């Protein structure tokens, strides 16, 4: 996946003309280039700021590339360093690799090879950078392991989620069905000071009006027919922890009034009882309706709305964060392959394209179910478009038997698929190889083979 971040590259070479040439070349490729005229200058740079990649000549007069490499690796072991050696002196290259160089290239430089090796190094760097970025934004103690997504809207949401987690405020989570409201609620609880106490869930729509009060507040023995013993409600079960009230909009007006009182007073009495019990519970409520318009329609109490809505989190529908679709798809593929003891190499580009184009009215849950069923039913190495033939693709409806079979030799099909994928990946070979489900090396071999 291409990102808009510019990648910072440090070019280290004491040969000014070579350095300038590299700077011009790399700037043209979209990198932000910094220059160092010898090893010690490079070390100073690395001490001062992070880089995504270092390109370093091995033979320099003052401090050699090999010496600088050791020091740099000591300062920041995660920066990939590509060594350039003037003579195809395998020996110094091997030495450099032993000291932790990522790759080496020989002069005169083959620009295509340079570009390829830089991109490959960037793939590593990129992953690390994305993880770091997320950690930096969200705080190192905020564990979002379960939540997949790196779209700006999701990063934004996670940022607010982390602030919500560090407070004790009531939270209202809004979002369409299947967007991940519950997973967000759980993330808040398990990152809050209440994490060692219970996280209790109650779906307000799943319980009949008559039983909801007793579910929430508990009841005394004999409170109603069938109440053969005292039972504690969800509020008491959640003491010290968090109570997740799902589908809050489905609560009756009478129940809303009772809930409001408990939230305000921070105490309750069991149904049919007298005893007043103090409670310490944080509430997270969720709804897939627009709660404010429910207030305006007179279906939801305004005072309760404002009580619940101290912090509002809006979980965006999947169609508004399409860049998360490939990540989620891979995540679910892995998850269900493991569960079903199957192994897949990935998705074909056409299959992924279809997943991206579809508008997912049931959001992440629908996608999860779709991939689970494809995993169970498919018998091939890659999940292909035909495994998702039931998904309308927005342009036409293709039944499994409908797909045109290209009347071409297999090699031609492969060649044109590679070309098309490269085109739709903006010429980015890492991205293209990812979409094709092959390694960059394989892609390279094929390009060579087909003279592309």
**Residue ranges that bind ligand ATP, judged by CB under 6 A:** 147-149, 175, 177-183, 288, 364-365, 368
Pick the closer one to ligand ATP by CB: 80 or 175: 175
Smallest separation, CB 288 to ligand ATP (Å):
5
Q: Which entry of Mg ion, ligand ATP, none binds 311, CB below 5 to 8 A by partner kind?
A: none
Smallest separation, CB 181 to Mg ion (Å):
5
Q: Which entry of Mg ion, ligand ATP, none binds 430, CB below 5 to 8 A by partner kind?
A: none
Q: How far apart are CA 358 and CA 371, in angstroms?
A: 13
Upper half-sphere CA count for residue 44 (Cβ side, 13 Å): 9
Does position 247 interact with Mg ion (CB under 5 A)? The reply is no
Pick the closer one to Mg ion by CB: 80 or 180: 180
Smallest separation, CB 173 to ligand ATP (Å):
8
- Chain positions 170 to 209 lying near Mg ion, rule: CB under 5 A, are 182
Among all residues, whose Cβ is closest to Mg ion? 182
Q: Which entry of ligand ATP, Mg ion, none binds 215, CB below 5 to 8 A by partner kind?
A: none
Q: Would you say 81 and 70 are in contact if contact means Cβ atoms under 8 Å apart?
A: no
**Token pair 């989190």 in the structure block, residue:** 313
Q: How far apart are CA 444 and CA 269, in angstroms?
A: 71
Distances from the Cα of 81 to the Cαs of 57, 121, 189, 275, in angstroms? 10, 9, 41, 70
Q: Which entry of ligand ATP, Mg ion, none binds 25, CB below 5 to 8 A by partner kind?
A: none
Q: How far apart are CA 68 and CA 63, in angstroms?
A: 7
Smallest separation, CB 363 to ligand ATP (Å):
7
Q: 3-class secondary structure for 87-153? A: CCCHHHHHHHHHCCCCEEEECCCCHHHHHHHHHHHHHHHHHHHHHHHHHHHHCCCCCCCCCCCCCHH
Pick the closer one to Mg ion by CB: 182 or 250: 182
Q: Which entry of ligand ATP, Mg ion, none binds 356, CB below 5 to 8 A by partner kind?
A: none
Smallest separation, CB 355 to ligand ATP (Å):
15
Q: Which entry of ligand ATP, Mg ion, none binds 288, CB below 5 to 8 A by partner kind?
A: ligand ATP
Q: Would you say 67 and 55 are in contact if contact means Cβ atoms under 8 Å apart?
A: no
Q: Which entry of ligand ATP, Mg ion, none binds 76, CB below 5 to 8 A by partner kind?
A: none
Pick the closer one to Mg ion by CB: 65 or 178: 178
Pick the closer one to ligand ATP by CB: 339 or 397: 339
Q: 259: which 2 tokens? A: 């809930």
Q: Would you say 221 and 228 are in contact if contact means Cβ atoms under 8 Å apart?
A: yes
Pick the closer one to ligand ATP by CB: 324 or 385: 324
Residue (of 326, 324, 315, 370) closest to 349 by Cα position: 326
Q: Which entry of ligand ATP, Mg ion, none binds 170, CB below 5 to 8 A by partner kind?
A: none
Q: How far apart are CA 56 and CA 84, in angstroms?
A: 6
Residues with Cβ < 8 Å from 423, sequence gap 6 or more?
A: none
Q: Would you say 443 and 436 are in contact if contact means Cβ atoms under 8 Å apart?
A: yes
Distances from the Cα of 159 to the Cαs of 18, 195, 318, 327, in angstroms? 44, 19, 18, 19
The helix/strand/coil state of 245 is strand
Smallest separation, CB 13 to ligand ATP (Å):
45
Q: How far apart are CA 14 and CA 36, in angstroms?
A: 8
Smallest separation, CB 49 to ligand ATP (Å):
32
Q: How far apart are CA 93 and CA 56, in angstroms?
A: 12
Pick the closer one to ligand ATP by CB: 135 or 221: 135
Smallest separation, CB 151 to ligand ATP (Å):
10
Pick the closer one to ligand ATP by CB: 180 or 241: 180
Alpha helix segments (H runs only) across 191-317: 209-217, 234-237, 253-265, 291-296, 302-308
Contact map string, positions 135 to 174, toward Mg ion, x by CB under 5 A: ----------------------------------------
Among all residues, whose Cβ is closest to ligand ATP? 180
Q: 434: which 2 tokens? A: 């990812």
DSSP 206: S
**Token pair 């994305």 in the structure block, residue:** 130
Pick the closer one to ligand ATP by CB: 288 or 350: 288
Pick the closer one to Mg ion by CB: 206 or 276: 206
Smallest separation, CB 170 to ligand ATP (Å):
18
Smallest separation, CB 188 to ligand ATP (Å):
12
Interface residues toward Mg ion, by CB under 5 A: 182
């Amino acid at each position: 996946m291409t990102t808009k971040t510019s990648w910072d590259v440090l070019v280290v070479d004491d040969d000014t003309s070579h350095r300038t040439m590299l700077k011009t070349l790399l700037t043209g490729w979209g990198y932000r280039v910094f220059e160092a005229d010898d090893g010690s200058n490079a070390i100073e740079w690395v001490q001062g700021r992070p880089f995504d990649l270092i390109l370093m000549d091995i033979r320099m007069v003052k401090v050699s590339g090999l010496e600088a490499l050791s020091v740099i690796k000591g300062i920041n072991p995660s920066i990939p360093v590509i060594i350039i050696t003037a003579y195809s002196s395998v020996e110094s290259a091997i030495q450099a690799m032993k000291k932790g160089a990522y790759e080496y290239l020989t002069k005169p430089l083959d620009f295509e090879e340079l570009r390829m090796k830089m991109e490959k190094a960037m793939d590593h760097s990129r992953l690390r950078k994305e993880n770091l970025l997320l950690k930096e934004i969200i705080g190192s103690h905020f564990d979002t392991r379960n939540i997949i997504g790196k779209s700006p809207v999701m990063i934004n949401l996670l940022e607010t989620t982390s602030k919500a987690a560090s407070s004790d405020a009531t939270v209202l989570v809004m979002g369409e069905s299947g967007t991940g409201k519950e997973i967000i609620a759980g993330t808040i609880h398990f990152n809050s000071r209440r994490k060692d106490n219970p996280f209790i869930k109650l779906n307000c729509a799943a319980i009949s009006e008559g039983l909801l009060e007793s579910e929430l507040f508990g009841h005394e023995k004999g409170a109603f027919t069938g109440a053969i013993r005292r039972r504690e409600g969800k509020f008491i079960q959640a003491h010290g922890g968090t109570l997740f009230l799902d589908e809050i909009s489905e609560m009756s007006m009478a129940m809303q009034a009772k809930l409001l009182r408990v939230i305000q007073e921070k105490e309750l009495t069991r149904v049919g009882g007298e005893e007043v019990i103090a409670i310490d519970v944080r509430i997270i409520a969720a709804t897939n309706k627009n709660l404010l318009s429910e207030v305006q329609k007179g279906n939801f109490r305004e005072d309760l709305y404002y009580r619940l809505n101290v912090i509002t989190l809006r979980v965006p529908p999947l169609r508004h964060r399409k860049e998360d679709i490939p990540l989620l798809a891979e995540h679910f593929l892995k998850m269900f392959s493991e569960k079903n003891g199957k192994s897949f190499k990935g998705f074909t580009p056409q299959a992924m394209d279809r997943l991206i184009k579809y508008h997912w009215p049931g959001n992440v849950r629908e996608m999860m179910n779709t991939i689970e069923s494809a995993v169970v039913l498919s018998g091939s190495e890659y999940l292909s478009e035909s495994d998702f033939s039931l998904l309308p693709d927005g342009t036409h409806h293709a039944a499994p038997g409908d797909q045109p079979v290209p009347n071409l030799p297999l090699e031609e099909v492969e060649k044109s698929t590679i070309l098309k994928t490269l085109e739709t990946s903006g010429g980015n070979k890492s991205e293209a190889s990812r979409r094709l489900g092959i390694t960059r090396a394989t892609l390279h071999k094929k390009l060579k083979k087909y003279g592309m």
